[in-house]
């Protein structure tokens, strides 16, 4: 098949569509502890993986062959052993276009790192559930920074709406507070009648990590699996898990995402949930 014969991705290049998503992610501590207790076996590691909670909202608008994206991420990060706590709030705007086998995404945004109220959220949940409060101090001050990101994908296989396989490279540059990130790997989308599967694997390298964030961020091989099922014609629910997403070996994270589609189908992809 020649490059000119590669079909367009869903949705088609005529008409517009949009999607709004809200999600939550956490480390494996709560899930692992409860599942291990239920089955009386240590199926999941049950140590704290630093990402106490992540909340995000995203909006996608497809116009012809251009996809516009806006997202807001909020991370509550702790390390009990190092007595470390910080929060990250990031806002980003980006666009994505495709030319035959090449798909290109670029974006820019801003972020805040520091005391953004994560301790209040975490310990309020602890009080409700009867868990002892976690007393960790923030470092003084809040850091403000700007960010730029880019991603290039080469489609190895694209069979209409059934199968998509691509290799990718991505870079994120930050002015202060957060590290620069280089990622590369493979991404695959498999769509059946009942479930859309998104599978990713690769390597992420983080440079210029501050001494404080080195307690919770690093460089490592990673993989991620996401499954999305339709609830109705417009609503869909996705769940995913990642291994070593933040660059610390042995860490597993889980997430849930609900999305509302209008005017066409935009599948949830792990590349949209990448750590900012």
Asked if 265 contacts 10 with a C-beta cutoff of 8 angstroms, the reply is yes
SS3 assignment, position 270? helix
DSSP secondary structure letter of residue 138: B
SS3 assignment, position 272? helix
Closest C-alpha to 98, from 70, 63, 72: 63
pLDDT of residue 49: 57
**Dihedral of the alpha carbons of 163, 164, 167, 169, in degrees to the nearest 10:** -140
SS3 assignment, position 124? helix
**What are residue 236's DSSP bridge partners?**
230, 259
**What are residue 65's DSSP bridge partners?**
none
**What are residue 261's DSSP bridge partners?**
19
Domain of 263 in residue numbering reads as 3-273
> 201-205 — which CB contacts under 8 Å span 24+ positions?
202/168, 204/245, 204/247, 205/181
**What are residue 169's DSSP bridge partners?**
152, 184
Buried b (16+ CB within 10 A) or exposed e, 151-185: bbbebeebeebeebbbebebebbbeebbbbbebeb
Closest C-alpha to 168, from 225, 104, 224: 104
DSSP secondary structure letter of residue 162: T
pLDDT of residue 48: 57
Q: What is the CA radius of gyration of the chain?
A: 19
Domain count, the chain: 1
Q: What is the CATH number of the domain that holds 112?
A: 2.40.128.140
Cβ-proximal residues to 33 (8 Å cutoff; 6+ apart), any chain: 46
Ordered mean pLDDT values, 10 residues apiece, the chain (276 residues): 42 69 79 62 58 90 92 90 89 94 96 92 83 83 93 90 92 91 96 92 93 87 95 93 86 90 88 80
């Amino acid at each position: 098949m020649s490059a000119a014969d590669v079909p367009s991705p869903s949705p088609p290049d005529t008409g517009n569509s949009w999607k709004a998503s809200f999600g939550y992610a956490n480390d494996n501590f709560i899930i692992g502890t409860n599942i291990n207790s239920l089955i009386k076996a240590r199926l999941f590691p049950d140590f704290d993986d630093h990402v106490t909670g992540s909340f995000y909202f995203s909006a996608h608008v497809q116009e012809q062959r251009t996809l516009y994206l806006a997202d807001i991420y909020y991370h509550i990060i702790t390390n009990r052993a190092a007595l470390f706590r910080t929060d990250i709030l990031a806002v980003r705007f980006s666009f994505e276009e495709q030319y035959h086998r090449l798909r290109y995404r670029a974006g820019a945004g801003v972020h805040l790192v520091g005391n953004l109220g994560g301790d209040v959220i975490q310990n309020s949940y602890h009080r409700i559930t009867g868990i002892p409060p976690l007393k960790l101090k923030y470092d003084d001050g809040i850091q403000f920074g700007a960010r730029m990101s880019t991603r290039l994908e080469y489609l190895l296989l694209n069979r209409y709406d059934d199968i998509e396989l691509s290799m990718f490279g991505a870079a994120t540059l930050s002015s202060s507070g957060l590290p620069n990130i280089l990622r590369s790997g493979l991404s695959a989308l498999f769509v059946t009648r009942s479930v859309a599967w998104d599978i990713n694997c690769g390597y992420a390298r983080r440079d210029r990590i501050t001494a404080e964030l080195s307690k919770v961020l690093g460089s490592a091989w990673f993989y991620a699996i996401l499954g999305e099922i339709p609830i109705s014609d417009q609503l869909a629910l996705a769940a995913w898990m990642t291994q070593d997403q933040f660059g610390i070996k042995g860490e597993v994270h889980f997430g849930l995402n609900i999305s509302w589609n209008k005017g066409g189908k935009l599948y949830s992809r792990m590349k949209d949930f990448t750590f900012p």
